[in-house]
Structure formats: C-alpha cells, structure tokens
C-alpha cells in the first residue's frame, strides 16, 4: 500500500501522539507530575473553561493586547504614511527609529514599570512599543511603493494633499499596511504574555507561569492549550478581515 | 559612491537627546525616574569599565548562540526535508498549525519544568521560538525552487544528494537567509525574556534586577547596551548575508537583462 497525501495523515499523527502520551503517563514511563496524561489535561481544560477562571484571564490579556495594538496601529500608520510621503520626515526620523527597532522589546518592560507601575498601563505601553515598529516600517515601505502614475492622476484631477493621502495613498498601500498589522498581531500576543510573566497578577501569561510555580501542572498545560487556541483564532479572524478588506485590491490588480 | 551623511536624522537625534537632558534636569522629581542622558552615558562608561556589563553580555551571548545555532540546524534540516515531500508534510501539518500560533514565551514554564532554571532552559526556549521562522521559510524556499533547475539536474544525471546540496539548497538560500534574519530578533527577545523570568545573570536579568534595586541610571545604560548589541548583530548579519548571497544576486541579475 502506498501512503497518499491527505489531511488525515496529520490528524492520525496527532491522535497517535496523544494516545502514546496518555499510555506513557499511565504506565509510569514518564514522570507523572511533569507529563500528566492528556485526559487529565483536557479535564483540567474543561474545568477551567466551565468555572470561567481561564476566560477571565484571557479576557484581561485580550483587553491589554487590544489597547496596545490599536494604539500602535493608529500611531504606526499615521507616522508611516508621513514618512513614506514626505522625504524630509523620513530622513528626520530614520535614525531614531532604527535605534528603537534594534532594542528587543522585553527590555522596555523595566522602564515601563518605573514610569507606569505594574498595572495595565505598563503592559499596554510595552505592547504598543513592540507593535508600532513593524506597522510603521511596513506602512512606510507601502507608501513609498505607491505607483507614481496614481499620484500624478490624483494631481491631474485636482485632488488636494489631504485627499490624495486619504483616497489614493492609504488604499494603494493597503496590502503593505495589512502585512505590518499581521506581523504586529503575533508580536502583541507575545509581549502580552511576556509582560504578564514579568509583572502581573492576572492574565493568561501570569496564569501559566503561576500554575507552573505552584506545581499545578495539568493546569499549566491547559493554559498553554488555551493560549494556542487564542492565537489560532486571532490569526484566523485577521485573515478573514484581511480577505474582506483587501478584496477590492485583488480585483483591481488582477484586472490590471 | 560615498554614503550620504544623514544630517537631518542626526540633528533630530541630537535635539531629542538635548530635550531629554533639559527636561530631566529642570522638571523636579523627573530625574529620579528618567536620569539625564549625559548621566546615562557616563554610567554606561562606568559599568563597561568595571566589567559588570561584560559578564552579563557574555552570559546572554552564550545562550543566544546556543539557541540560535540549534534552531538553524533544526529549522533548515526539517525545512529541507518537509519541503521536499508533500506527503511527509501532510503528516505534521496539523501539529504545525497547533503549535505555530502559540506565543513562544508560553513555553518558558514547561521548559523550566524539564530543564531547570539554568542555561539549557534558555537555550531550548530560544531554539524553539527561532526554529519556526527558519523552518517555514526554508520549507517555502525549497518548494518554490524553479522546476527547470531540478529537471536540468535530472537531465545531467546529477544524483539525489548532489542535487539537494548543489541545486536545491543554494536556490532556496535567499529564503533561508530571510528566516535566519527574522530569527535573530526573536532570539534576542527570548533570551532576555527567559532571563527576566528566572536567572542570576544575563542582560535580561541584569536590567530587571537594576530596576528592582532602583539603580535607574544603570538600568537605562544597560538597555542602551542591549539596543547597541541588537543593532550590531543585525548589521553583522546583513554584512554576512550580502557577502554570502552575492553570487545569487549575480546569477539572477542576468535574467533581468
């Protein structure tokens, strides 16, 4: 028999992995404390979801992530358009941005703690700082790559600068902006988890680290499962939104 | 052509530093939280001179190098393998889809459980996070190797292994390089994060510890050092990439003519 390429191959692998994990745990081949059987992890997952405990942590995390992300999108797109459109703005900001971008974002956490304390504002600031750069850089690239013919047509039709930016440049740079937003989405989630691990008493990052520290291991795995699901769903939602928002763009560039 | 000096950018940087200096000195109380730029630079000189900074940089770089090298080997190896066979990839696709969206710092607690709180834990976490972009880029690169190249190799009866090492991997190398570059930044993030969560040396630990012991000028100085380190690593990579990939740009330019 020859194996064929199919979606079931991978699902079979997942099932086999889960079953051998379960069997190894029950037979005592692996440390029961470190490797609780899959059934226990799933039971813990169900209990956490049913009690609403994990949902509360996820809710707190998502709120922080959303605030930081939205701020970063606002500032990143606005600055990116300015830097892409006006050469002077680009030259003025380039060095400062290169320096800021070189800093690994977790390093900003202690500064944020000093200035903002360990509450939500600190996390939002850290998420904002880390997400703003990819959005800004991609928007700048997108605006600089706008077809000059579009700009000349806009001028021919007598569009003012503000209108040109709103109606021509931002839409034309749309796919680049969306790329920046997609990269930033993953980063937002990463920095949410990191900032919650370093200084927090709530949120899914705190929940997972705290579960490990208090040796509630099935709960730690369940928390990771929740986080994987959240990441997956967010990415899916983004792709759906992207497909809807950018449908006109694909239509236009296909016909061209 | 001589590189143009970015005067305007330097002026903005200098203006920003001057404003920082002036504000920090004139606003009462602010200096405790945001010490003047000059003091931060002097402090940086101090921790450089007494060797305090160097020890932490060394600890971080060892973890960085270990995790990054491991990820490069794993990511390129697995990427070439999975990119060469769609059947093989179909076995792991759901696993990849399950693990990939999980933010990588979430693996720190489980790594603590299995590897303790020493270097191994940090190297494993860094390697895990960096493997993804390298693997996925390599996979993509191998899949999109020009079919004409493969057929030419087959026509000349080039063996399987030689085709792999002399045709497929070189042709996929720009994308492999992209994966390696993306991972560079990720490696620094995971090294510093794992050091912040649990460690007694390394830049991540050092910066957080300086904040907790309220040595604020030192904290800013160490952050500045980390930014410089990140900048240098990225510059070094780009230089290496430009040198290693020069043949590729040379080979593909002909098509444009």
Instruction: For B127-178, give the DSSP string.
Output: HHHHHHHHHHHHHHHHHTS-HHHHHHHHHTT--HHHHIIIIIHHHHHHHHHH
- How many domains does chain A divide into? 1
Has residue B71 been placed in a domain? yes
Has residue B255 been placed in a domain? no
Has residue A20 been placed in a domain? no
Has residue A105 been placed in a domain? yes
What confidence tier does B18 reach under pLDDT thresholds 50, 70, 90?
very high
Name the residue facing A102 among B9, B192, B234 (closest C-beta). Answer: B234
Query: Is residue A206's pLDDT more than 90?
Result: yes
The residue among B225, B147, B138 whose CA lies nearest residue B177 is: B138
Has residue B4 been placed in a domain? no
In contact, A104 and B189? CB cutoff 8 Å: yes
What pLDDT score does B4 carry? 73
> What six digits make up the tokens of A125?
């600031």
**Could you tell me if B64 lies within 8 Å of chain A, comparing CB atoms?**
no
Has residue A35 been placed in a domain? no
Average pLDDT of chain A to the nearest whole number: 89
- Stretch A115-131: mean pLDDT: 92
**Could you tell me if A30 lies within 8 Å of chain B, comparing CB atoms?**
no
> What six digits make up the tokens of A46?
């169900």
- Stretch B114-136: mean pLDDT: 93
Name the residue facing B12 among A5, A14, A96 (closest C-beta). Answer: A96
Has residue B26 been placed in a domain? no
**Could you tell me if B105 lies within 8 Å of chain A, comparing CB atoms?**
yes
The verdict on a CB contact (< 8 Å) between B8 and A91 is: yes
A128-170 pLDDT per residue, tens? 999 999 999 999 999 998 888 888 888 888 888 888 888 888 8
Has residue B163 been placed in a domain? yes
Has residue A109 been placed in a domain? yes
**Could you tell me if A228 lies within 8 Å of chain B, comparing CB atoms?**
yes
The residue among B128, B138, B136 whose CA lies nearest residue B80 is: B138
**Could you tell me if B90 lies within 8 Å of chain A, comparing CB atoms?**
yes
**Could you tell me if A69 lies within 8 Å of chain B, comparing CB atoms?**
no
DSSP A138-184: HHHHHHHTS-HHHHHHHHHTT--HHHHIIIIIHHHTHHHHHHHHHHH
Has residue A143 been placed in a domain? yes
**All residues at 6 or more sequence positions from A91 whose CB lies less than 8 Å from its CB, including other chains:** B6, B8, B9
Q: Which runs of consecutive H residues, i.e. helices, occur in chain A?
A: 7-27, 38-51, 53-85, 87-102, 108-116, 120-144, 148-156, 161-164, 170-172, 174-198, 204-213, 217-245, 247-255
SS3 at position B101: coil
For A212, how many CA atoms within 13 A lie in the half-sphere containing its CB?
Answer: 24
**Could you tell me if B44 lies within 8 Å of chain A, comparing CB atoms?**
no
Is B35 exposed, middle or buried, given 0-12, 13-18 or 19+ CB atoms closer than 10 A?
buried
What pLDDT score does A238 carry? 93
The residue among B179, B177, B207 whose CA lies nearest residue B191 is: B207
- How many domains does chain B divide into? 1
A62-104 pLDDT per residue, tens? 999 999 999 999 999 999 999 999 888 998 888 888 888 889 9
**Could you tell me if B95 lies within 8 Å of chain A, comparing CB atoms?**
yes
- Chain B hits for A200, CB-CB cut-off 8 Å, are none
- Chain B hits for A97, CB-CB cut-off 8 Å, are none
**Could you tell me if B5 lies within 8 Å of chain A, comparing CB atoms?**
no
Has residue B23 been placed in a domain? no
Residue of A92, A110, A134, A232 to mutate, interface with B, max B Cβ within 10 Å? A110
What confidence tier does A31 reach under pLDDT thresholds 50, 70, 90?
confident
What pLDDT score does A95 carry? 86
Please, what sign has the CA dihedral across residues B30, B34, B35, B37?
A: negative
- Stretch B8-18: mean pLDDT: 90
Residue of B6, B63, B101, B209 to mutate, interface with A, max A Cβ within 10 Å? B101
Has residue B238 been placed in a domain? yes
**Could you tell me if B106 lies within 8 Å of chain A, comparing CB atoms?**
yes
Q: Which domain holds residue A171?
A: 40-255
CA-CA distance, A94 to A70, in Å (whole number)? 23
Name the residue facing B102 among A88, A94, A224 (closest C-beta). Answer: A224
List the single residue in A with minimal CA-CA distance to B187.
Answer: A104
CA-CA distance, A189 to A248, in Å (whole number)? 29
Query: Is residue B1's pLDDT more than 60?
Result: no
pTM: 0.88
What pLDDT score does B255 carry? 53
The verdict on a CB contact (< 8 Å) between B103 and A96 is: no
CATH label of the domain that carries residue A127: 1.10.3720.10
Has residue A14 been placed in a domain? no
- Chain A hits for B104, CB-CB cut-off 8 Å, are 190
What pLDDT score does B257 carry? 45
A-proximal residues of B, 169-198, CB under 8 Å:
185, 188-189, 192-193, 196-197
């Amino acid at each position: 028999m020859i194996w064929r390429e199919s979606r079931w191959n991978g699902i079979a692998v997942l099932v086999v992995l889960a079953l051998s994990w379960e069997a190894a745990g029950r037979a005592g081949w692996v440390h029961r404390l470190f490797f609780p059987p899959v059934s226990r992890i799933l039971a813990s997952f169900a209990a956490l979801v049913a009690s609403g405990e994990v949902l509360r942590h996820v809710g707190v995390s998502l709120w922080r992530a959303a605030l930081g992300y939205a701020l970063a999108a606002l500032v990143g797109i606005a600055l990116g358009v300015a830097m892409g459109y006006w050469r002077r703005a680009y030259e003025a900001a380039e060095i400062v941005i290169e320096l800021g971008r070189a800093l690994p974002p977790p390093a900003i956490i202690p500064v944020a703690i000093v200035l903002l304390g360990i509450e939500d504002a600190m996390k939002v600031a850290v998420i904002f700082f880390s997400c703003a750069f990819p959005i800004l850089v991609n928007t700048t690239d997108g605006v600089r790559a706008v077809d000059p013919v579009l700009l000349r047509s806009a001028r021919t039709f007598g569009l003012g600068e503000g209108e040109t930016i709103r109606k021509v440049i931002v839409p034309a740079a749309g796919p680049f902006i969306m790329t920046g937003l997609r990269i930033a989405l993953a980063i937002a989630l990463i920095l949410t988890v990191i900032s919650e691990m370093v200084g927090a008493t709530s949120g899914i990052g705190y929940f997972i680290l705290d579960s490990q520290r208090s040796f509630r291991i099935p709960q730690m795995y369940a928390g990771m499962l929740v986080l994987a699901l959240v990441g997956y769903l967010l990415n899916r939602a983004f792709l759906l939104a992207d497909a809807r928002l950018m449908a006109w763009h694909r239509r236009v560039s296909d016909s061209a | 052509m001589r590189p143009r000096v970015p005067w305007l950018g330097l002026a903005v940087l200098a203006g920003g530093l001057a404003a920082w200096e002036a504000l920090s000195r004139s606003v009462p109380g602010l200096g405790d939280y945001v010490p003047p730029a000059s003091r931060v630079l002097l402090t940086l000189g101090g921790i450089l001179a007494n060797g305090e900074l160097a020890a932490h940089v060394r600890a971080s770089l060892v973890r960085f190098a270990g995790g990054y090298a491991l990820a490069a080997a794993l990511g390129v190896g697995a990427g070439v393998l999975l990119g060469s066979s769609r059947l093989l990839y179909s076995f792991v696709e759901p696993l990849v889809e399950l693990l990939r969206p999980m933010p990588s710092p979430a693996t720190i607690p489980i790594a603590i459980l299995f590897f303790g709180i020493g270097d191994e834990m940090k190297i494993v976490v860094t390697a895990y996070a960096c493997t993804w972009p390298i693997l996925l880029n390599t996979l993509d690169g191998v899949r999109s190797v020009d079919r004409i190249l493969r057929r030419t190799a087959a026509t000349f009866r080039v063996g399987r292994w030689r085709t792999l090492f002399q045709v497929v991997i070189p042709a996929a190398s720009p994308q492999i390089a992209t994966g390696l570059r993306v991972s560079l930044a990720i490696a620094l993030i995971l090294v510093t994060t794992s050091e912040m969560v649990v460690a007694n040396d390394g830049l991540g630990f050092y910066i957080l510890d300086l904040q907790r012991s309220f040595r604020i000028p030192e904290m800013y100085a160490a952050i500045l050092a980390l930014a410089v380190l990140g900048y240098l690593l990225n510059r070094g990579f780009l230089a290496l990439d430009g040198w290693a990939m020069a043949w590729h740009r040379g080979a593909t330019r002909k098509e444009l003519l």
